[in-house]
A and B are shown apart, each in its own frame.
Chain A
């Protein structure tokens, strides 16, 4: 009799555990990544902050603009090749990002030089080749200095400017920005911290799942 009660008890416990497991599964709908920046509501539609129109030249002398990233997720950053402070770390980390998604046609990388005077197209080409990365996946762009600074500050919320008191003559943030297919900012990560870059790599996948979910819902 005692044994029986114990069996019934253990069965009951099993059912409770199964129920909890089921519940936790059904709650596993992923929370979408946040959208950064100001938003406006016009006629019931929410307008989010998006990357302003831009046009730069990449390491192959090809024009790179918003259309280049149409229907793509991309990761943006600001650097310069002669920088010895945070850029080498950023490039080491971005290379990890590149390796994690080099076979993924949905994702691109956009690195802006903030020293276009020194970082010519030829120099950027050499730099990209030395990193061993492909130009149609990772764009290194140069352009008019003011346009680069302006887009950094106003579109990507990243600091980039000349400052003679800095060791290399520039002040800039080491941020990596995750941009979605609607050109909205969905994540900001410190490109000098390995753990944050790991999170970025995970968030790229998360964003891809978000789009995959939308597709299957249609």
Chain B
């Protein structure tokens, strides 16, 4: 009787574990995701890690952290826009105020920005899944419009 119960519980665990693996398949282990992620890491090391560090921890109150960031969690469109256009003025991350001008990288393509975003949103504490180029393009069009207004 006990053995049956144990078996049942084990089976349940197995099912749950497999189920979550299926969900991850859709976002974090597809070929497309892997391509985005690998390119994203390369671009992150080229354009971002000087300030935000390889480990995403930032530097003091000069450069905000990315590894764990409520700002990133709540502002995906703003993050995509500022990778391209930069950011100026105060920004609050995890309750701390940062105020260092960030230069944008205007010559990045929407695909490259989607790759960087996929990398930073799926590394350290983040598990947001793939950030697609189409989604990124739409956001970029919207923020370019905003800037012109």
Q: A: which residues have CB within 8 A of B?
A: 81-82, 84-86, 88-89, 91-92, 95, 126-127, 129-132
Contacts and interface: CB of A to CB of B under 8 A. Distances in A.
A89 B60 CA distance: 13
B134 interface: no
Contacts of A91: 59, 62
Contacts of B53: 92
Main secondary structure of the interface of A (DSSP, over half): helix
Nearest to B97: A130
A85 B50 contact: yes
Contacts of A131: 59-62
B93 interface: no
15 contacts: A84-B50, A84-B51, A84-B103, A85-B50, A86-B50, A88-B50, A88-B51, A88-B59, A89-B50, A91-B59, A92-B53, A126-B99, A130-B100, A131-B59, A131-B62
B21 interface: no
Interface residues of B, number: 13
A92 B60 CA distance: 9
Contact of B61 (A92, A95, A130): A130
Given A91-B62, A130-B100, A132-B60, 14 more contacts: A84-B51, A84-B103, A85-B50, A88-B50, A91-B59, A92-B53, A95-B60, A129-B61, A130-B60, A130-B61, A131-B59, A131-B61, A131-B62, A132-B61
Contacts of A129: 61
Contact of B101 (A82, A85, A95, A126): A82
Contacts of B71: none
Interface in B52-66: 53, 59-63
Nearest to B105: A84
Contacts of A127: 62
B51 A130 contact: no
B59 A92 contact: yes
Contacts of B61: 129-132
Contacts of A92: 53, 59
Nearest to A86: B50
A92 B103 CA distance: 19
A130 B100 CA distance: 10
Contacts of B50: 84-86, 88-89
Nearest to A92: B59
Contacts of A86: 50
Contacts of B99: 126
Interface in B32-87: 50-51, 53, 59-63
